[in-house]
Amino acid sequence: MHNSAPCTTRNGKLRSCYPSEEDARNAADYAQDAYGNAMVPYLCDRCNHWHLCPQDRYTPSATCHYCTDGNGRPKQLYLTYESAQKRAHLRYQEDGVRLNVYECCHNRGWHLTKNDLW
């Protein structure tokens, strides 16, 4: 099921949506050429549209259909340990939230948690 509400940035601004990967790639190329911003297109699993992410913040993930967070929402499943670590580091830099990385016991991937792992 996809959310019909538009996606927003961390600052509450509406995210630009692109109907196809090609449109998103063209927008990423334009951002690079016009502004020197390296952007990565990604398919949003919330709205099923394409968005752009700054390359230095890109952490590939998918929705885990087995694991949930403390609020009952599906957890993000990071495809590599490194991308999960990168996301945890970004969260710490932005919000001061310390997150630990652990391996998903249902899928091939990694989750983040605020809980201590020992």
At which of 11, 30, 56 does a domain end? Answer: 56
Cβ atoms of 27 and 40 within 8 Å: the answer is: no
Residue 4 included in any domain: no
Per-residue pLDDT of the chain (118 residues; tens, 9 = 90+): 455 578 988 788 999 999 999 999 999 999 999 999 999 999 998 899 999 999 999 999 999 999 999 999 999 999 999 999 999 999 999 999 999 999 999 999 999 999 887 6
Cα gap 74→49, rounded to integer Å: 19
Q: Does some domain include residue 81? A: yes
pLDDT at 37: 97
Final residue of a domain: which of 29, 56, 83? 56
Residues 6+ apart with CB under 8 A from 111: 64, 67, 75, 76, 77, 78, 84, 101, 102, 103, 104
pTM recorded for the entire structure: 0.81
61 membership: H or E segment, kind and range: strand 61-68
What's the domain range around 51? 21-56
Say how many domains are in the chain: 2
Query: Is residue 74 in some structural domain?
Result: yes
Q: List pLDDT tens digits, range 99-115.
A: 999 999 999 999 999 98
Angle 68-73-79 from CA coordinates, rounded to 5°: 60
Q: Please tell me the predicted confidence (pLDDT) of residue 1.
A: 44
Q: Rounded distance, CA 118 to CA 113, Å?
A: 12
Residue ranges in the chain assigned as alpha helix (H):
21-35, 81-95
Q: Are residues 39 and 80 in the same domain?
A: no
**67 and 84 co-located in one domain:** yes
